[in-house]
Amino acid sequence: MFARIARRYDVANHLLSGCMDFGWRRKLVAAVKRASASDVLDLATGSGDVAFALSDQLPKTVTITGVDFCQPMLDEAEIKKGQGHDNVSFRQADALDLPFAENSFDAVTISFGLRNMADRHKALTEMLRVLRPGGRLFVLEFSQPAGWFRPLYFFYLRRMLPLIAGGITGDRAAYVYLNETIEQFPGRAALTAEIRAAGFTAIKARGLTLGTVALHEAVKQAR
């Protein structure tokens, strides 16, 4: 499915979010910047927007590895990779079985990809495994909005989003799937519990844009 929409993925994201995805990404990058990481793993990197934003804002000594299961998405990332992004590399891999040793990274980021994992707990425990003790996890993901806004939000997801996205990408079915995964995804408190169950500590969650999106931060406890 992601292979089918890879070429129009960025345009669709910008239009469907009203370009709010730029602001959400800036908040994620600012949080990672505060962590002073020397190497970052960006999971579900897609076409590389988060990896490139990290490269633009972090010191060039920081290495950034973008990983995605879908090679056509990574092909789009390679096309977009420009000057000044020499510290970014991409690799095809499965987030449920990462090809990295334990304690390999200071920070792991995942943006709008956790809900697509076949097994969220396994994905989170893999993130924990590859983080160094004291390393930080950053999850930017859709969430459940404030109660009064829910009817409007779900009307948009169910009726408007597939229609608009279908016109942009030619693949309405992919965005019916998208709205279903958003509706079924846990809210901030429930996702915090899942992250804690995977072994993380010091978990913080911040709602963005009336709670439709949340930024979770967590720590791999130092030994």
pLDDT surpasses 80 at 108: yes
Cα separation of 39 and 63, whole Å?
5
**139-158 tens-digit pLDDT:** 999 899 988 898 998 888 88
- 50/45 Cα distance (integer angstroms): 7
Top-confidence residue, 156 or 67: 67
| DSSP sequence for 123-172 | HHHHHHHHEEEEEEEEEEEE-PPPGGGHHHHHHIIIIIHHHHHHHHHS-H
pLDDT band at 92 (very low <50, low <70, confident <90, very high): very high
Predicted TM-score (pTM) of this structure: 0.89
d(CA 93, CA 76): 16
Per domain, the residue ranges of the chain are 2-144+186-219
Contact 96, 126 (CB under 8 A): yes
Asked if pLDDT for residue 7 goes beyond 70, the answer is no
pLDDT at 15 over 80: no
Closest CA to 211 of 154, 120, 149: 149
- The predicted structure's pLDDT at residue 19: 77
- Domain 2-144+186-219, what fold? Rossmann fold (3.40.50)
DSSP H helix total and E strand total for the chain = 10, 7
Decide the pairing of beta strands 213-219 and 131-142. Answer: antiparallel
Mean pLDDT score of the chain: 89
Residue 162, both tokens: 């597939």
**Over 80: is that where the pLDDT of 13 sits?**
no
63-86: average pLDDT: 91
Residue 140 pLDDT = 96
Torsion sign (Cα): 30, 31, 34, 35: negative
Indicate whether 6 pLDDT > 60: no
Terminal C-alpha separation, the chain: 41
